[in-house]
Amino acid sequence: MPVSTTDYVLQELEDWKNLGVDGHFHAKNPWMTYHELLADQMAEVVGALPSEVVVMNSLTVNLHLLMVSFYRPTNKRHKILFDYSPFPSDRYAIASQVKFHGFEPEESMIELKPDGDGEIVSIENMQKILEEQGDQIAMILIGGVNYYTGQAYDIKKITAMGHAKGCIVGFDLAHAAGNLQLQLHDDGPDFAAWCTYKYLNSGPGSLSGCFIHERHHGNSDLPRFAGWWGHDKKTRFLMGDEFKPIDTAEGWQLSNPPVLSMAAIKASLDIFAEAGMLNLRTKSTLLTAYLEYLIHQENDTNIGIITPSDPTQRGCQLSIQMKNPDKKLFHYLTEQGVIADWREPDVIRVAPTPLYNSFEDIWLFSKILHAGLDTLL
């Protein structure tokens, strides 16, 4: 949690206590427009125009809302190409959208597969699928960084390949936003969504970010689920019967913003704005390379790193795969004060995050890791 989060949230509690409903207009940061305070800084984090970004809802909710607009299957083109071993919520969301449109997941869902016996999906593998089935694929929806392997995908190349085959292209950036230096506007995907409680440090269950490329903003034929906060701001409170969407990503909003969560996001984004994604990415690359070096230095046959060694194909995550899956090592790390992640069935995910991890942290972790390997395995 950023140290400043307490003050940011307490400010809104004070305004709520003292102003009640009038906080919408007279709070220090009026609630009515609070989400607008996040647009510029969030756009900077993901490399977008402020008009292309909005913070709202939670991640899977936003993926569903975006698929309402962008997954428009036909009898000929109804397939969705999705990530290898995706986060389960993405798989559930995609399958339910497919079924909602009257198709069968077994026929309409194409999961990327790694090359050979490894865990990495090559761009050539994706290209092959698109060459063979591109005219049947309505949408590509994959992670910016695979949550299991830590592989970072080339958003620009994948978007270009997908568009060349007439596919809509979207990304789940849960493990990429605040981790990689993204350029969503220039790379050109149709949409993206990400949570803010991983690398963006905004608290448990906090709101999601959403990107809709500006080329779609004026498309009145694009279907969407509508709510009053997406309605034209000039006439929103006239309470008219006809929905008139805001001509930006804000037009996908449904409800007025939950300010307490947004205050925590603002606290984090102010730090990201001060640090700068270029600086963070530079430090991240060095930290992760140092961690990789220290793990390899011990040459322990009980573990291996499945995350690509090429810095351009990963963020700050390294996925340490157990040769004989056993959570004893993970529990040992936890007992020693290391906060890591166990990814079923056999991966310990370690992420030296540049905002708050140091090179000394990496060195200490390697000592603990190898002590655990010597003791337990």
DSSP letters of 210-261? EEE-GGGTT-TTS-----GGGB-TTTGGGT-SS--B-SSGGGG--S---HHH
Residue 81 in 3-state DSSP? strand
Measured distance CA(87)–CA(193) in Å, rounded = 14
Q: What is the pLDDT of residue 221?
A: 86
Per-residue pLDDT reduced to its tens digit, 143-159: 999 999 999 999 999 99
Measured distance CA(141)–CA(314) in Å, rounded = 18
Q: What is the pLDDT of residue 194?
A: 98
Percent over 90 (pLDDT), the chain: 95
**Residue 56: pLDDT band with limits 50, 70, 90:** very high
Computed over every residue of the chain, the mean pLDDT equals 96
Q: Is 3.30.70.20 the CATH number for 277-376?
A: no
Mean pLDDT in residue range 369-377: 91
Per-residue pLDDT reduced to its tens digit, 153-196: 999 999 999 999 999 999 999 999 999 999 999 999 999 999 99
Per-residue pLDDT reduced to its tens digit, 288-345: 999 999 999 988 999 999 999 999 999 999 999 999 888 999 999 999 999 999 999 9
Residue 363 has pLDDT above 90, yes or no: yes
- Residue 121: CB atoms within 10 A of its CB come to 21
Residue 116 has pLDDT above 90, yes or no: no
Joined together, the tokens standing for residue 189 give 């995907």
Nearest to 339 by CA among 310, 364, 305, 322: 364
Mean pLDDT in residue range 66-86: 97
**Residue 117: pLDDT band with limits 50, 70, 90:** confident
**Residue 199: pLDDT band with limits 50, 70, 90:** very high
Q: Looking at the structure, give the CATH architecture of the domain made up of residues 5-275.
A: 3-Layer(aba) Sandwich (3.40)
Task: Give me the residue spans of the domains in the chain.
Answer: 5-275, 277-376
Joined together, the tokens standing for residue 104 give 């069968």
Predicted model pTM: 0.96
